[in-house]
Amino acid sequence: MPNESESRKGPALDRMAGNAANSIAAVGLVQAGFPADVATAIGGIVGPLGEELSYALRTRAVRRSERLQRFFDFAVADENLTAEELLQQITYDDLKLELLARAVNAAVSSTNETRLQALARAFVTGALAADDAAVDQSLLVIDALGQLDVPHFRVLAILLTKAPQHFDKDFEELHYSWSDKQIAEHDPGLATTVTALTARLNSLGMVYDEGHGRYGGGAAVLWTLTPFGKACADELARIGQEP
């Protein structure tokens, strides 16, 4: 693998961005794969700052490509086929091509391995599915996972475990669910963000408030996984890692 010095000596793109005329720099950056608006902004910066900025963004592009390679490696790790063979199987299926596009888009933006592996498993599940309903579910799982980070995964992992007991407001019916406070007690690292985390999971339809109108006069918020939330949590569990 080339060291940093060798990488900088490769394409003349960075020097062009730092020293060439604005329009020429912008055209070169677009050709390198940067969005036009970003290329225009970078092309307007000359000198060492422009060169360093161009190099940093080029490094980002390389790392996104590496993530995509790992995504496909994860996808076929447990399957008896190569990534190329997997792609050939879905080439003429419009729904599965949409699944591929969304999975790739989420994968290249994924900065942690847990989400990358979960996205890969959700993708291959849908890609190899025999019916459209299973592909649709994989699409939803990928869309949801793409909006979550490791702290959300930690909440989902907690919600998969046996929940504390709660009686309804008439103390007649026993239920099992989690309050924000109990989630934070289980994982103190979530204490300052737990309300935001559960709110996001709720907005994505992954959890619902079982306590609404049932416990303590309706004041308590008690979270339970929806079937969709459990499907996403199960995808995380399948990769065999603690989020």
Q: Which domains does the chain have, with CATH numbers?
A: 4-65 (no CATH), 77-145 (no CATH), 150-238 (1.10.10.10)
Give the pLDDT confidence of 50-93 residue by residue, as tens digits: 778 778 877 888 898 899 999 999 999 888 999 999 999 999 99
81: which residues sit within 8 A by CB, 6+ positions away? 89
Q: Residue 227 corresponds to which amino acid? A: P
Q: Which residues pair with 224 in a beta bridge?
A: 208
CB 155 within 8 A of CB 190: yes
pTM recorded for the entire structure: 0.72
Helix axis angle for 83-90 and 48-76, nearest 10°, is 80
Radius of gyration of the chain (CA): 23
Determine what percent of the chain falls in helix, strand and coil, rounding each to the nearest 5.
65, 5, 30
SS3 assignment, position 237: helix
Extract the tokens encoding 56: 């940093």
Give the pLDDT confidence of 84-143 residue by residue, as tens digits: 999 999 999 999 999 999 999 999 988 888 889 989 999 999 999 999 999 999 999 999
How far is Cα 16 from Cα 75, in angstroms, rounded to an integer?
Answer: 38
How far is Cα 230 from Cα 156, in angstroms, rounded to an integer?
Answer: 8
DSSP H/E element including 36: helix 36-43
Give the pLDDT confidence of 164-221 residue by residue, as tens digits: 876 665 555 556 789 899 999 999 999 999 999 999 999 999 999 887 655 554 456 8
Give the pLDDT confidence of 14-59 residue by residue, as tens digits: 554 444 445 555 666 665 666 777 767 766 665 677 778 778 877 8
SS3 assignment, position 110: coil
Q: Where are the alpha helices (DSSP H) in 4-43?
A: 4-9, 13-19, 22-31, 36-43
